[in-house]
Chains A and B, each alone.
Chain A
């Protein structure tokens, strides 16, 4: 995928033949081929698996967001967020009342990420389900059996094309630039913003001339004992090439005990989730007409880290809050 140009992709992130782009579209080049140029057995098997998974990734359709469904499920979300996570969201008034906006969050909690739940609930009740709100998620999340309902909440596969379409529709878009790298960081790095140098969100905001609103959360990394990302293991099993998965996280989590991959999720511990929404950053107003992407990235991550440090200082005990 990385070697393909953006122009070669269709607007929904799928290849012209209608199949979703996968890491395998380009990944297995000459080194894996037989000397006569035919694909090796390994390559064929790997491509078949990737194709099967890829076919499950739905075509991005912003219309799949269903405000009535969201509204009817608010009470269930509220119960979970209030009773289990004791969620607290501050500063929602910092989000512009209307128009497109890029919400940039730090991501925590492994594959069962409580910060997304708490923030989505808070956004939906504060602005109303009528306001268009999309969240970008890893392809694999949307292709998992039983998680199709997430699309009704406005979850779409993370790709520049989908983010562009969502912003162009005037929606608020929530992105987690750190993605799988950040969400599976070890618990002892829980209070660290780690976007892994991914600056695409800055370019996206500049391209669409939308403000960035940083969203900082704490507590998600206390919902299990995250031991490591397992990047070496992922590479060994070729998951990075198959599914764009650069990690194979290892954690100790209920009900599994030792949890490798977190593919089936886990039961999160009832850690208190606190989220603070920071003032909107108008990029051209603050950084000039031709802003430097690196400077903005540094500013956003530094501001978020300072807020996270302050939230961490407020916290008396892990999980309890």
Chain B
């Protein structure tokens, strides 16, 4: 099952990139995520591993994931190592000459070999997962735009002092 959500953020891609590549920030802006812990020596980049859990229905589902694509500041993709099968992707695209960012979050999930009931479970879970993604993007937008505004104010203040 594949679900996705997208949003436009009034902040440049490199700022949004800072959010989506920082594992310590996930618990603050990702809705439904109950765990996003670094599980490898390297904390970022290809090969970094995280232990992830998202509450869906009566269980926290997820597992160990590994970053498999890290193209700054455009694409960040991960795939599951253990736990349910999943593949996720952050897709950041520049808008308005770099002043804005179109952010897309995709998540594919399922359990291979689970048969018909697996398919049913994926369909039943989809609305909750999709809502989690939407809320996460709204929170990411809020936090990123807040940080962008603070950065702009700091820049203006620095210019005035000069």
Contacts and interface: CB of A to CB of B under 8 A. Distances in A.
Interface of A: 68, 71-76, 78-79, 81-83, 85-89, 92, 118, 121-122, 125-126, 128, 130
Contacts of A76: 114, 117-118, 121
Contact of A87 (B58, B118, B125): B58
Interface string B110-149: 0111110110111011000000000000000000000000
A128 B58 contact: no
Interface in B9-37: none
A122 B120 contact: no
24 contacts: A72-B111, A72-B113, A74-B84, A75-B114, A75-B120, A75-B122, A78-B58, A78-B125, A79-B120, A79-B121, A81-B59, A83-B57, A87-B58, A87-B59, A89-B59, A118-B58, A122-B58, A122-B59, A125-B53, A125-B59, A125-B60, A125-B62, A126-B53, A128-B63
B45 interface: no
5 smallest CB-CB distances across A and B, nearest first, come from: A82-B57, A87-B58, A75-B121, A75-B118, A76-B117
A81 B61 CA distance: 13
Interface of B: 53, 56-64, 82-84, 111-115, 117-118, 120-122, 124-125
Contacts of B59: 78, 81-82, 87, 89, 121-122, 125-126
A71 B14 CA distance: 39
A92 B83 contact: no
Given A72-B112, A74-B84, 18 more contacts: A68-B113, A72-B114, A72-B115, A72-B118, A75-B111, A75-B120, A78-B59, A78-B61, A82-B57, A87-B58, A88-B58, A89-B58, A89-B59, A92-B60, A118-B58, A126-B59, A128-B63, A130-B82
Contacts of A88: 58
Nearest to B53: A126
A78 B60 contact: no
B58 A71 contact: no
Contact of A81 (B57, B112, B113): B57
Given A72-B114, A88-B58, A78 B121 contact: yes
A71 B82 CA distance: 10
Contacts of B118: 72, 75-76
Contacts of B63: 128
Contacts, number: 74
Nearest to A77: B59
B58 A86 contact: yes
Contacts of A83: 57, 124
Nearest to B83: A128
Contacts of A75: 111, 114, 117-118, 120-122
Nearest to A87: B58
A92 B53 CA distance: 12
Contacts of A81: 57-59
Q: Which of A72, A86, A87 has the most CB of B within 10 A?
A: A72
Nearest to B119: A75
A174 to B, nearest CB: 16
A130 B83 CA distance: 9
A183 B16 CA distance: 53
B122 to A, nearest CB: 7
A279 B53 CA distance: 20
A125 to B, nearest CB: 4
Contact of A73 (B64, B114, B125): B114
Contacts of B57: 78, 81-83, 87
B82 A74 contact: no
B82 to A, nearest CB: 5
Contact of A82 (B58, B62, B64): B58
A88 B115 CA distance: 25
A85 B111 contact: no
Nearest to B113: A72
B125 to A, nearest CB: 8
A168 to B, nearest CB: 24
Given A79-B121, A128-B83, A74 B114 contact: yes
Contacts of B114: 72-76
Contacts of A87: 57-59
A125 B112 CA distance: 15
A205 to B, nearest CB: 26
